[in-house]
Structure 1
Amino acid sequence: MVSGDGTSGLPVIAGLGVALPPRATQSDLWTGFFAEHFGGTTRALAERIFANSGVVTRQAAVNPLLEDVSAWPTERRMRRYLVEALPLGKEAVGRALTDAGLAAGDVGLFAVCSCTGYVTPGLDILLARDMGMSTATQRIFIGHMGCYAALPGLGAVSDFVAARGRPALLLCAELTSLHIQPSSARVDTQQIVSHALFSDAAVATVLTPAGRPGYAVREVVAVTDTSTADHMTWDVTETGFRMGLSPRVPEVLAAHVRGLVEDLLARHGLGIAEVDGWAVHPGGPRILNVVERELGLAPEALADSRATLAEYGNCSSPTVLLILDRLRSMPVPPRLVVMLAFGPGLTLYATLLEFAAPC
C-alpha cells in the first residue's frame, strides 16, 4: 500500500539506470579540438560561446580529442551509432531493472527514444533480445522528437502500465558526438552553440503499477507552437545530422511556459509555490533563465538543472531523467516534481510527479 495525495492507482517510477561514455572537460575539448575546428574569424566568437555555455564536463562516445568524425558520411556515422549505443543501452537498462528489483522478462512494454541514430532492427529489438525480454514484449520507438522525447515516452509507458497493470521500460539514448559538422570559414553561430552544449548519455526508467515507493506519474501535457516550427530543426545531411537553433527559442518558451505549467497544476488543485522539485531541460543557460523568470522561481529552484548541465552537458532526451535521478537521490526527495522539456515544433512538454512512499 502507498500513501500520498492523489497517487492512488497511478503508475510509479520504480527504477532508474544511467550509463555514460567517457567524460572530457569543456576546456580540454576546446583547446584540443574545437579551437582549431572553429578557426579564423570564427574562433573568438566560438571561444566566448564555449566559455559561457554552463558546461564544465560532458561525455562523448566518439571523442573528438581522439577521433575526428566531422568529415564522415552519414552512413558511416549510423554504423558507429549501433556499435556505441547498444552497450550503453544495455548498461542503462540493466541498472534500471536492478534498481526496480525486476527481471527483463517482467517488462510488458519497452519504449526507446533516440534522435541521433537509425538502424533496423533497432535498439528496441536488439536490446529486448540481448536483455532476455519476452518475445511477447511490446515495443515502441520514439524518434526525431529531440530534447523533449523523454516526456511523451514517459506518458506512453505510464499509460500502458495503467491500462495493462504490467511493468514498462523507457530508454532514452543519444549520441550527439557522432554529428560534429565539418568546419567552415563561414560564421555559423547555431553550429557553434550546438557543439558547445551537446553530450552523450543513456538513461532508462522502469514504471510499475501502484503499490511501490517512487514517483507516481500524475499527468503529462504538451503545447506546440507550429508557427515557430523553423526555430529548431534537426536535418539529415550527407555528413550527419545538422542542428538548426534559432536565438528566438527563449522568446517562444517565455510566451508559453507559465500557461502550460499553471494549467497542469490547476487541474490537480496546485500552484507553482507548492512544487518543491523542478527538473527543467537545460537547453542552455538562457533557457533556464527564461523558465526561472517566467515562473517566478527562486534561483535555487533550478540548481539541479544547472548542475546537471555543468556536469553532463545537454544530452538531449536523457537529460531530464538525469535531473530526476539527482532529485530522487536527495536525503529528503521533493514531494512534487514538475519536469519540463522543449524541442522541435516548437514543443513544450510538462509532467507532474508526486512522491509515493510506503505506509
Structure 2
Amino acid sequence: MDDIWVPRITGFGVALPSIYQSQAEIPDFLPDDYPKKGFLQKVVAHCGIEGRYLAVDPIAEDVRNWSTGARMSRHLDEALPLSEEAVATALKRTSLDADDIGLLCLVSSTGYVTPGVDTGIARDFGMAPDTKRVSVGHMGCFAALPALEVCADFVRHNERPALMINVELSSLHLQPPPYDNQQVVVSSLFADAAVATVVQHEQRRGGWGLEVVDVTTRTDAEHEDCMSWTVTDKGFRMGLSPQVPGVVGTHLPGMVRELLGRRGLDVSDVGWWAIHPGGPAIIDAAVNSLELDPAAADVSRRVLHDYGNCASAGVLMVMEALQSSTPLETGKHGIAVAFGPGLTIYAALVRGT
C-alpha cells in the first residue's frame, strides 16, 4: 500500500494589479442621463466595497467591444506577471525551491491560453520537467476548493508539494451595453487578483500549517439558472440572480453539519470561518443560516471592503488574512465555504497543525 502523507497548506502569496478604482468614482463614469445610473449609485452605496484592484483601467481602455480572442491574449499578458509575483511570495514564505514542486494546479475562470500561465511559471521559475500540471477552469467563485482537494490528494500520495495558483481578471470581461440590473451589479462587484497556495506534507518550520481534512459539495440543479458564466463573442457574461443568497442559505447548514459530523464535530468546534466574499447578501446568508456570531464573518467583510469580489481567489484571500491575524491553534478546526454556478456550494474543513 502506498504511503499516505498529511496535506497541509503552509503558505499563501497574494498579488494585486497596480490599478486601483474607488467605488465612489464608478457612477461618475456614466453620463447623467444614463438610464441605469440611479440604480448603479444604489448598488455602489450598499455593496460593502471601498475599492477594487483592476488589471485593465476602464477609463484608459474601453474593453467592452473587444473580441473574446483579444481578451484572452490580454489575459496572458496580465496574468503571468501577476501570478509570478504571487508564486514568488508563497515560495519564499514556505522556504521551498521551485523544483521542489510536484504538481502545479492553475485555476481561472476568466482566461484560457495554452501554452499559458502554468507553462510560463514552470519555465520562468525553473521547475522540474516532471512537474505535473492540471488546470481547473470555468467553475467560478468556488473553484479554489475543488482545486485544493486535487492538490491535497496529490500530496497524500506523493512525497512532493503542490502549488495552486488562482488568477482572476474579471475586468477583462466588462460587457457592452445595454445593461440590465444584473450586469450593473456584476460590473460593480468583481475585481482582479492572484493567489498562490502551497500544499505540502511537511510542517512549515517556525510557522503555521492547515491540514486539509475534508471537502464536500452540494449542487442545486433546480436553481442552476440563478448563476451563469457564459462565453460570448464579447468576452464572458455573468448572470447573477438575487435568489442566490436564499438558495445558499437553504443548503449550507445541512452540508456543513454533515461535513463536521463525519469528524464528530459541530458548529461550536469551528475556530474560524472563511466565507467567500461574494457580496454582503451572500455573507449574511451564510452567517444567518449557520446561526453564527456576526463577528465570525468580519474578515470576509474586510476582504470584500478592501478588494471586492475576486472570484476564485476571494476565499483564499480570506484564509490568508485569517491565518495572518488569528492562525488556527494546533488541533482547532476552520471551515472555508464558497459558491458559484451550478448552483454549487463547496466547503472545506481544515485543522491547525
TM exceeding 0.5: yes
Q: Per-residue deviation at 1:66?
A: 2.2
Q: Kindly provide the amino acid, as one letter, of the partner of residue 126 in structure 1.
A: G
Determine which of 290, 302, 305 is the counterpart of 2:285. 290
Q: Per-residue deviation at 1:100?
A: 0.8
Alignment of 1:237 onto 2:232: yes
Q: Per-residue deviation at 1:30?
A: 3.3
Q: Identity rate of aligned residues, in percent?
A: 46
Spell out, residue by residue over 1:257-296, the C-alpha distance to the aligned partner (whole angstroms, 9 max, x if none).
0001110011111111111211001211111111111000
Q: Per-residue deviation at 1:40?
A: 2.3
Q: Per-residue deviation at 1:9?
A: 4.8
Q: Per-residue deviation at 1:39?
A: 5.2
Match of 1:170 in 2: 164
TM-score by length of 1: 0.93
Match of 1:258 in 2: 253
**Separation of aligned partners in 1, 2:277 and 2:101:** 30
**Separation of aligned partners in 1, 2:328 and 2:22:** 29
Q: Per-residue deviation at 1:333?
A: 4.0
Q: Per-residue deviation at 1:210?
A: 3.9
Structure 1 stretch displaced more, 122-131 or 157-166: 122-131
Spell out, residue by residue over 1:142-175, the C-alpha distance to the aligned partner (whole angstroms, 9 max, x if none).
0000100000010000100011121000000000
**1:1-359 map, 5 Å:** 9-22=5-18, 23-31=20-28, 33=29, 35-36=30-31, 40-184=34-178, 188-212=180-204, 213-330=208-325, 333=328, 335-356=332-353
Q: Per-residue deviation at 1:95?
A: 0.8
Secondary structure (helix, strand or coil) at the match of 1:93 reads: helix
Q: Per-residue deviation at 1:247?
A: 1.4
Q: Does the CA-based 8 Å contact 2:203-2:209 persist in structure 1?
A: no
**Separation of aligned partners in 1, 2:78 and 2:345:** 29
Aligned residues: 344
TM-score by length of 2: 0.94
Alpha-carbon spacing, 1:157–1:253, altered in 2? closer, same or farther (3 Å): same
**Separation of aligned partners in 2, 1:337 and 1:354:** 6
Q: Per-residue deviation at 1:254?
A: 1.4
**Separation of aligned partners in 2, 1:244 and 1:211:** 42
Alpha-carbon spacing, 1:203–1:333, altered in 2? closer, same or farther (3 Å): same
**Separation of aligned partners in 2, 1:163 and 1:194:** 40
Q: Per-residue deviation at 1:332?
A: 5.2
Unaligned runs of 5+ in 1: 1-7
Unaligned runs of 5+ in 2: none
Q: Does the CA-based 8 Å contact 2:27-2:40 persist in structure 1?
A: no
Regions of 4+ moved over 6 Å: none
**Separation of aligned partners in 2, 1:237 and 1:9:** 43
**Separation of aligned partners in 1, 2:103 and 2:246:** 37
Alpha-carbon spacing, 1:159–1:167, altered in 2? closer, same or farther (3 Å): same
Q: Per-residue deviation at 1:29?
A: 3.2
Secondary structure (helix, strand or coil) at the match of 2:141 reads: helix
Q: Does the CA-based 8 Å contact 1:29-1:65 persist in structure 2?
A: no
Q: Kindly provide the amino acid, as one letter, of the partner of residue 162 in structure 1.
A: R
